[in-house]
Amino acid sequence: MANPHGTPIWYELLTTDASVSKSFYDDVIGWTIATESSAPGMDYRMIATRDGGFVGGMMPLTEAMRTGGARPTWLFYIAVDDVDGAADLIAKKGGAIHVPPFDIPGAGRAAMVADPQGNPFYVMRGSSDQTSTAWDRTGMGKCNWNELATIDQAAGNAFYADVFGWKYPDKMTMPGDMGDYVFVDAAGQTIGATMKAGAQPEAPKGWRFYFRAPDIEAAADAVRRNGGTVLAGPMEVPGGDRIIVASDPQGVNFGVVGPGT
């Protein structure tokens, strides 16, 4: 895998109702989520974008997973040069190892971890020499922005800097006591931002991902039509794009990015 250490490479939806999730996101974002698994021995369905590529996968939660505490959510994978070494460093820096490093046949090696504030994600080194395009700042159907709402922004920023080499070159002061919106540079590209949890009522603690759709008003209508909730927007953001923040029918928080007017 050619993606640099510390950059996002894959997005994953955990769901308790695969058919509802497929109908919802296919309509809202314009994806084509597979109806059958692409992985032997497990139910894992690829999420295809209109350009023929992929932004991630969808995993229906089994009863055993739910009993073990798994809940519907979006997660992402961060590229690392060495999965085992990254897992060791994450634990040393106060993070948690939820699933120790494991091999994914035909895909690579990964581990499921969390930062010291309890926000889960994966680390991965893919076995392919191709570059993942799941993260693309302007790609249609791809993730365009990664946003972390955390209970300790300074400590969280320091953790990701230590583990992934992230830098924080700029920030935007938000109104009132909402604090700073701190931009994240990973391997020379701005991939998103961090803020303190509670800074925005529609931003629960954890990572939120924004996916690009061709028409933000149409995306908002599709959210409502398919049983989701528009929590904020449509509204313009710096750079000219328009966004909504929404939740799907299972209450999973996510964002949509569309072109400005």
pLDDT greater at residue 198 or residue 183: 183
pLDDT digits (tens, 9 = 90+) for 52-66: 899 999 999 988 888
Model-level pTM? 0.95
Per-residue pLDDT, 106: 80
Average confidence (pLDDT) over 210-222? 97
Q: In what order do the strands lie in the sheet with 8-15?
A: 32-33, 45-48, 54-60, 8-15, 73-79, 120-126, 108-114, 96-104
Fold of 8-126: 2,3-Dihydroxybiphenyl 1,2-Dioxygenase; domain 1 (3.10.180)
- Spatial contact of 1 and 129, defined as CB atoms under 8 Å apart: yes
Q: What is the 3-state secondary structure (H, E, C) of the chain?
A: CCCCCCCEEEEEEEECCHHHHHHHHHHHHCCEECCCCCCCCCCCEEEECCCCCEEEEEEECCHHHHHCCCCCEEEEEEECCCHHHHHHHHHHCCCEEEEEEEEECCCEEEEEEECCCCCEEEEEEECCCCCCCCECCCCCCCEEEEEEEECCHHHHHHHHHHHHCCECCCEEECCCCCCEEEEEEECCEEEEEEEECCCCCCCCCEEEEEEECCCHHHHHHHHHHCCCEEEEEEEECCCCCEEEEEECCCCCEEEEEECCC
Average confidence (pLDDT) over 118-147? 94
Per-residue pLDDT, 69: 83
- Give the integer Cα–Cα distance in Å for 96 and 180: 26
- Judged against a pLDDT cut of 80, whether residue 200 lies above it is answered with no
Average confidence (pLDDT) over 213-226? 97
- Judged against a pLDDT cut of 70, whether residue 187 lies above it is answered with yes
pLDDT digits (tens, 9 = 90+) for 84-114: 999 999 999 999 999 999 998 888 999 999 9
* Domain segments of the chain as ranges: 8-126
131: amino acid identity, one letter: T
Q: How confident is the model at residue 257 (pLDDT cuts 50, 70, 90)?
A: very high
Average confidence (pLDDT) over 169-173? 94
Average confidence (pLDDT) over 219-223? 98
Pick from 53, 260, 107, 109: nearest CA to 99: 109
- Judged against a pLDDT cut of 90, whether residue 199 lies above it is answered with no
